[in-house]
Structure 1
Amino acid sequence: MTTIKADELHLLPPQQLAQLIKQTESEVKFFSNSLNELKTVVESFKRSEDAVLQLVETGEGKECLIPLTDTIHIKGKTGPTQKFLIDVGTGYFAEMTAEEATSMFTRKRSFVTNQIDKIEGEVIPQKRLLLELANAIIEEKVRQSRAAAGQA
């Protein structure tokens, strides 16, 4: 369905309004689920940034546990903390200093947070307003239809 303006909703027949309502409800659900995923991504970037900073603070040669899976760890020692291999996406790794890595995580967190703000502040409220308007118009059309049927 093409994008429709709020002032054009009253021109749609009830069947199209019902379809628009169903589609918009689906979109609100999609964006709400996406918000939860994006918030998880922001937390992941923060944990990664904190891990880099903590490792730099800990220094070289300190004992630690290295995760192999979520439940299996092995003992190890920290290595040099001047450079880190950072997963930059789709299986590619880049060697970065702690400063470069934390800067990248901060930029990514900022970008995703801005997207979250847009979805929460603009997209979802607009979709909910469209739902309210479409529901009100369809209810009015049903009332008009019943009134017309009662007069006949």
Structure 2
Amino acid sequence: MATKERRMDLNDMNPMQLSSIRQQLEAEIEILENSIQSLQNAKMKFNESALAVQRQEEVPNGSQILVPLTGSMYVPALIKDNNEFVVDIGTGYYVQKNTKAANDYFKRKVQFLTEQIEKYAKLTQEKVTAREAIVELLQYRQQTAIAAQQTSSSQQLTKT
């Protein structure tokens, strides 16, 4: 995410500007949270793939298995070599890898996704902190305005 670094004093802003920034922060937080969820889902799939590779080592060559074509349709197949896998590396490309290479690939992907999740989580926390500061300032200003109005009203009542 490309964000511009702009430092502005919140105390110099009017309530409409503060509300606008709060709404923008809320939208950014929602996008970041959705991104984190997508990254976690991808990480889970790579972990499941690594586990499937490990489990496959235990299946003897020549064993008959069912290979899923969809979530509810399978075809029978024979294990020719339990040390060779075809791995989807993205954008329609598949590579044949042995057990060690497949596990290394999935491990690197999980590590990369973990780092991205941590970055997005940190950025999300910064946005949440900024939003909370704006909400607190808006509440403070509202309470100050109410107190000033009550003081003004009570002074007018004492004059009459």
TM over 0.5: yes
- Look up the match of 1:132: 132
Aligned ranges for residues 1-152 of structure 1 at < 5 Å?
2-5=4-7, 8-120=9-121, 122-145=122-145, 147=148, 151=152
Aligned length: 150
Matched AA of 2:107 = T
2:67 and 2:75 in contact (8 A); partners too: yes
DSSP 3-state at the match of 1:58: coil
Flag the 1:148–1:68 CA change in 2: closer, same or farther, 3 A: same
* CA–CA distance in structure 1, aligned partners of residues 56 and 64 of structure 2: 11
Q: For the residues of structure 1 that align with 2:37 and 2:30, how far apart are their CA atoms?
A: 11
What do the CA deviations read for 1:35-56 (whole angstroms, capped 9, x no partner)?
A: 2221111111111111112222
2:156 match: none
- In structure 1, the gaps of 5 or more residues are none
1:11 positional shift: 1.8
With CA pairs under 8 Å and 6+ residues apart, which has the higher RCO, 1 or 2?
Answer: 1
After TM superposition, what 4+ stretches of structure 1 lie above 6 angstroms from structure 2? none
What is the RMSD of the two structures over their aligned residues, measured on CA atoms?
2.4
Q: TM-score, normalised by structure 1?
A: 0.85
Identify unmatched segments of 5+ residues in structure 2.
154-160
Q: Which residue of the partner structure matches residue 157 of structure 2?
A: none
Give 3-state SS (helix, strand or coil) of 2:67's partner: strand
* Larger gyration radius, structure 1 or structure 2: 2
After TM superposition, give the deviation of residue 79 of structure 1 in Å: 2.0
Q: Secondary structure at the match of 1:61?
A: coil
Distance 2:152 2:91 in 1: 66
